[in-house]
A and B are shown apart, each in its own frame.
Chain A
Amino acid sequence: MPYNQEFIHALIVDDQKCIRCTHCVKICPTEAIRIVNGSVVIREERCVDCGECVRACPQGAIDIDHDDLSRINEYKNKVILFPSVFWAQFPDRLSEDQVYTALQKIGFTHVYEVEQPIAVLKNVVRKQIKSNQSEYPIISSFCPAIVRLIQIRYPSLTENITRVKAPHDLSAHYILDKLSADGLDPAETGVFYVTPCVAKIAAVKSPVGENRSIITGVISPKDLFNKVMSIVDDIQAEDCRYLRKELTKEGIQWSLTHGETWWQNTRTMAVDGIHNAIKILERIENDEIAGIDFLELRACDRSCAAGVLLPQNRFLTVEKLKRRAKRYPSAEKKSQTEGDERFMHLESKVLTGEINPRPLLRFGSDMEMAMSRMQRARNIMCHLPGIDCAACGAPTCQALAEDMANRKAKMSDCIFIQQLWQKNGKVPAEKAFKRMEKKWGEKRFDPDCTKIGAKNETNR
């Protein structure tokens, strides 16, 4: 089925704040970032929205495309859908009810935590593991950055990604069904999702294996956190326990590392951190890991507790959620006592369509041409210094060679080659400097005391 195959990204680089320090260029796991003519350029076909660049940026210059809180006023029924990790951002002195009440006071008419109908996911994933015929393990579709990483770098593994919706999408269905059963008009209902990370924003904007998400908008947790904190001490908490009655141990810990594996009785493995995930995917693809039934992969170290948009420390978030989970019943027990009937209708909605591979062919899709370009890149590598300084605007010498082979960069982009050419009298110093300014921006090399670590550091 033809699904929306375009990646829509949620990253916006602020050229005014960016000082072209190359931290993002070097950290990007798919080598998607370059500096071109004094600006950061993100190559869309390569970006998997993992958000590592946002984390690495010392200037806070990479912004996230999210909705303004005021957008909720366009709807009569204002639904907030927030993940458990968001609740864990608040200090211990605040109770669950205080946070819930504050969110209602901010204007939300319906307050829900994402991880409520998790029993459905558990059941469906179990079935998919059981019916897996392939030699590879079933891979969780939970982390959208991982799904996109597999699409571009491990295309042969896309078939093994679980075809289930993300919890936020499933929850939105659950809530909308509930509200329309109560007689509320879906057209007057806006579902706003508080997202911990960049990948989930991108997943709402262009979901993989689906045409569109039913989420109305995404809200930055930082803005909302500040808003709650500014009013929470002046309000009287109301009893909101009825809003959390579907919450379970499994649900609360779902987005943490091992959240999808600890309750399973098959052979599972949980890996967090995108570079760790890459190492494991590489070995899975090589058939070097046998016998694993289910693989949970998360792009962030400590999973969603480390969501790049969350203000709190990831380890404190994990500890707080683990503590919280102890107070809740297990989904297993709940389905024994209460049954899962109220979720049954969701089972038909939980599945997504096919996840298509989108192999990243660095030298183009024509094999003959790709070969000649690859050979060119290898010849160029003989001349580059192999220092991987990123002063050319590419993350490594090999990436520069690749760009040159694809006619997207020049030998003169390398500052060491420039030096060599000057020494050999090939290029006058003046011209070499002009080239550097073209790459990094005019006056980029004038003294500037406002930079980090300089005399008058400025918080830009």
Chain B
Amino acid sequence: MIKLNYTIEGGDFSRAGYASSQVKKNLKQLGVDQKIIKNIVVALYEAEVNIVAHAQKGNIEVLISPTGVKMIVSDQGPGIVDVGQAMQVGFSTASEKVRQMGFGAGMGLPNIKRNVDRLDIETKVGKGTTLTMIKDF
């Protein structure tokens, strides 16, 4: 079992993607199937962008075992008011500024769901959100 930890600062879009590219590097070194790596990287990247776009600060914990990967992405952000709505393609609460940078198209959570085997969302308005994603090898 390998545990990888990353701290994510909100607001800096140029840094979004660091954790997912590091995780990719590690999975490649372990010989994980490229298609599965791609799913994991896409899901994690979307989660990273969510932290950068919506929260001040967040944390990513990645647990790699011989059978799969578990990713716990938690932030101290605004929380999600209506999870069902957030899961719909095209729904977004991103600010105009974030949209102008090419993010906030409302694809994030649906895209994550498509790429992992399990997605749990735990959220509290005003406190933050924790995504737990599982992808089996």
Contact = CB atoms under 8 A, between A and B. Distances in A.
Interface of A: 155-156, 285-287, 359, 361-363, 365, 367-368, 370-371, 374-375, 378
B30 A367 contact: yes
A371 B2 contact: yes
B31 interface: yes
B31 A361 contact: yes
A324 to B, nearest CB: 43
Interface in B34-49: 34, 38, 41
Interface string B21-38: 100101011111010001
A370 B1 contact: no
Nearest to A367: B66
Contacts of A375: 1-3
B11 to A, nearest CB: 22
B109 interface: no
A362 B3 CA distance: 18
A377 to B, nearest CB: 10
Interface of B: 1-3, 21, 24, 26, 28-32, 34, 38, 41, 64-66
Contact of A374 (B24, B26, B65): B26
A363 B30 contact: yes
Contacts of B38: 286-287
A156 B26 contact: no
A449 B57 CA distance: 56
Given A371-B1, A375-B2, A361 B30 contact: yes
Given A156-B34, A287-B38, A368-B66, A361 B29 contact: yes
Contacts, number: 39
A355 B81 CA distance: 52
Given A361-B31, A367-B30, A367-B31, A374 B66 contact: no
Nearest to B45: A286
A359 B30 CA distance: 10
Contact of B66 (A156, A363, A371, A378): A371
A166 B66 CA distance: 40
A361 B28 CA distance: 8
Given A286-B41, A361-B29, A362-B29, A371 B64 contact: yes
Nearest to B41: A286
A371 B29 CA distance: 9
A370 B27 CA distance: 10
Given A286-B24, A286-B41, A371 B34 contact: no
Nearest to A365: B31
19 contacts: A286-B21, A286-B24, A287-B38, A359-B28, A361-B30, A362-B29, A363-B29, A363-B30, A365-B31, A367-B66, A368-B66, A370-B30, A371-B1, A371-B30, A371-B65, A374-B2, A374-B29, A374-B30, A375-B2
Contacts of B24: 286
4 tightest A-B CB contacts, nearest first:
A156-B34, A361-B31, A362-B29, A368-B66
B132 to A, nearest CB: 21
Contacts of B2: 371, 374-375, 378
A370 B41 contact: no
Nearest to B33: A156
A378 B24 CA distance: 16
A368 B34 CA distance: 18
Contacts of A156: 34
A154 to B, nearest CB: 9
B66 A155 contact: no
Contacts of A361: 29-31
A367 B64 CA distance: 11
Nearest to A364: B31
